Chains A and B, each alone.
Chain A
Amino acid sequence: MGGAGSPRLGCVLRIDRATYDAIVAHAREDHPDEACGVVAGPEGSDRPERFIPMLNAARSPTFYEFDSADLLRLYREMDDRDEEPVVVYHSHTATEAYPSRTDIGLAAEPNAHYVLVSTRHHGEQTGLAGDEVEFRSFRIVDGVVTEEDVEVVESYLFGHSPTTVVYD
């Protein structure tokens, strides 16, 4: 995956196959409008576990914005579950999967992996590798964009310690 520019050592988005596919499917579905959403995970875990597609309130091929009431509900819910947005994703439908100036200016989650998906070639049936949807991941901190590797794992359940149930 990687792409142009060498990702920083140790900087990687590790994401399970089902979530990866769900993000791509959402982007294809909403094409030519931009699709957006988050994948939440336990605070500090860096594990994107809960896929939450969001409505693009702008319904636009060049802009996305979570609806303001949805945004509040989402953050309230993550708060209640001790989660954070591990991945914030959106699609570009006519340009490459790289953060735009607007994306960089508005990025407000320094701990998140910003996933960019491009569906610009998804309608072309060329039979070549080029008709794949592009999927790239970035950190955006203080206006600085750092691309990172994307590692798709089969499932997060492997290697987990047994689930413990806490009653409070």
Chain B
Amino acid sequence: MAIEVRIPTILRTHTGGSKTVQGSGDTLAALVDDLDAKHPGLKNRLVTEEGKLHRFVNVYVNDEDVRFTGALDTQVKDGDSVTILPAVAGG
């Protein structure tokens, strides 16, 4: 068992084109580190230099926007499903 992570089109350059990758970790932060080890550069696209999630990247754990569940501190476990979606936004 692992955590399944859905990757948006724009980040698939980091995953060799894969729509879905597997990872592990107890928190979203640990999961992102694990993903970055396998798919270098991914973390930079999700997390700012200050260590916070980018304002315009949405991450959902089992359909729940992590902004409401502790952001990178959100607990995750095997069998969870994580979805990454860039915001559709502009001025």
Chain B's interface size range is 10 to 19
CB <8 Å contact, B67 and A106 = no
Task: Tell me the minimal C-beta distance from B18 to chain A in angstroms.
Answer: 14
Closest to A85 in B: B88
Residue of B nearest to A66 (CB): B88
Which of A38, A88, A102, A111 lies in contact with B91, CB distance below 8 A? A102
A90 and B86 in contact, given A71-B58, A111-B9 (Cβ under 8 angstroms): no
Chain A interface residue count: which class?
20 to 34
Residue of A38, A65, A99 touching B89 (CB-CB under 8 A): A65
Knowing A71-B85, A108-B10, say if A63 contacts B91 (CB, 8 Å): yes
Q: Is A143 located at the chain interface by the 8 A CB criterion?
A: no
For A54, the closest partner residue in chain B by CB is B88
Pair B90/A107 contact, Cβ less than 8 Å: yes
* Beta-carbon contact of A64 and B90 below 8 Å: yes
- Report whether B58 and A65 are in contact in the complex, using a CB–CB cutoff of 8 Å: no
How far is the CB of B55 from the nearest CB of chain A, in Å? 10
A-chain residues with CB within 8 Å of residue B85 when the two chains form the complex: 71-72, 75
**A interface residues with partner B (beta carbon < 8 Å):** 36, 38, 54, 58, 62-66, 68-69, 71-72, 75, 84-85, 88, 90, 99-103, 106-111
